[in-house]
Amino acid sequence: MQKWFDRIVKLNIVVTMLVLTSAVVLLQTPPAQLPSVPVIKGTETKIPEPKTTTLFFAGDIMLSRNVAGKIYKTTDFNLPFAKVTEEIRKADIAFANLESPFNNKGNHSVQGSLVFNADPKSVEGLKSAGFDILSTANNHAFDQGQKGIDFTSELLKNNGIIPTGTQSSTVQPTLPVIEKNKILYGFLSYSYTALNDGGKTTSPYVNDFNNLEKLKQDIQSLRGHTADIVVVNMHAGTEYTRKPTSAQIAFAHAAIDAGADLVVGEHPHWVQTVEQYKSKWIFYSLGNFVFDQMWSQETREGLTLLVTYQTRHIPEPANQTAGQDITEIKKIELKPVIIDDFCCPRFANSEETLSILSKVGLTSPVLFDNN
């Protein structure tokens, strides 16, 4: 009986040891890992960050007459833009009106002359300042004849600047469109006349401000095809006045009706009023930028613009990566300038800024801010 009892005790001891040993093994064995589920690339729902593009606009640039004289005196072709270059270069795209055609012959600094003739070396200043595209459609386009139009187009293109508003008879035209942040910005320019004769002459080589049907066709052929945003420039109006003419208003409204996103003008040599039409902005005249009209305070004053466009993604509710991209104006800053010494603009101080803006009924350098 005692032997059976001893056997049962030994058996229990063995079983207990086996159980303890199994428990230790289980404790030392890592738990089984669940199989990982692969993430398919491209299925993330991250919405793209908004992207901004800044456009700089200035008025009339005249590099002949007294401006050329000042350049020659200093032998510095960057002189006219020395005090404004930093701001121009900050912008993604810089635009202005080139009032004086280039020619490699003749006197470039004839004082008092109304026939402009810019030294080809002056293109160095435009390039160094950071201009990307310049309107050549104005009443001085033919000051150096057809040769001047051809020569100017070629010179600008060779220096990386796109001319818009005139057609060369010898140089292959460049589409006036610049791409930034995957958005195409197109620039169209028109003049009230082809010659400096008070608006009597038209030419197939200068875009005609008075032909509103052609304006409409130009905008519609550009927008949605070779450009996403269309900026229209007009060289028109009555000199030395604050308010636009009925023709300026009709042109600007027709441009926006046809699909233009922004209208900017010059020629009156004074800053003119600003209008918002169908939620689009019209700047009837930015006045002078580089000029030698020192005989009045009004002709020494000009306006520059810094227009910020933003492209943002509007997702579909069911799929964040699908949807559409919308590009619209996010901010407009007004930066007045004052021209000194017959040539050279500088940005106005705060007191001068408010004074200039008040002349066209504005009270703040920030015209629009959609932040």
Question: For residue 84, what are the contacts with CB-CB under 8 A and spacing of at least 6?
Answer: 129, 304, 337, 345, 346, 347
H-assigned helices in 130-281:
145-158, 212-222, 246-257
pTM for the model: 0.87
Q: What percent of the chain has pLDDT over 70?
A: 86
Classify residue 108 by burial, with Cβ atoms within 10 Å: 0-12, 13-18, 19+.
buried
Q: How far are the Cα atoms of 53, 269, 359, 361 from residue 145, in angstroms, in the given order?
A: 37, 23, 37, 40
Residue 45 banded pLDDT, cuts 50, 70, 90: low
> In the predicted model, is pLDDT for residue 1 greater than 50?
no
**Number of domains, the chain:** 1
CB-neighbour burial class of residue 135 (10 A; exposed 0-12, middle 13-18, buried 19+): buried
207-242 CB burial, b ≥16 within 10 A, e <16? bbbbebeebbebbeebbeeebbbbbbbbbbbbeeeb
Q: How far apart are the first and last CA of the chain?
A: 97
Tell me: pLDDT of 38 over 70: no
User: Per-residue pLDDT for 348 more than 70?
Assistant: yes
- DSSP annotation of 44: -
Q: Would residue 265 count as lying in a domain?
A: no
Among the listed ranges 114-118, 273-277, 285-289, 325-329, which one has the minimum average pLDDT value? 325-329
Domain-located, residue 66: yes
| Average pLDDT taken over every residue of the chain | 89
* Residue 265 backbone phi and psi in degrees, to 5: -130, 170
CB 337 within 8 A of CB 289: yes
At 347, which amino acid appears? F
Q: Residue 275 above 80 pLDDT?
A: yes
For residue 205, the surrounding DSSP H or E stretch is: none
- Is 1 a domain residue? no
Q: Is residue 163 situated within a structural domain?
A: yes
* Structural domain for 305, as ranges: 51-181+270-369
Residue 262: pLDDT band by 50, 70, 90 thresholds?
very high
pLDDT (average), residues 305-320? 84
Do the domain assignments include residue 96?
A: yes
Query: Is 296 part of a structural domain of the chain?
Result: yes
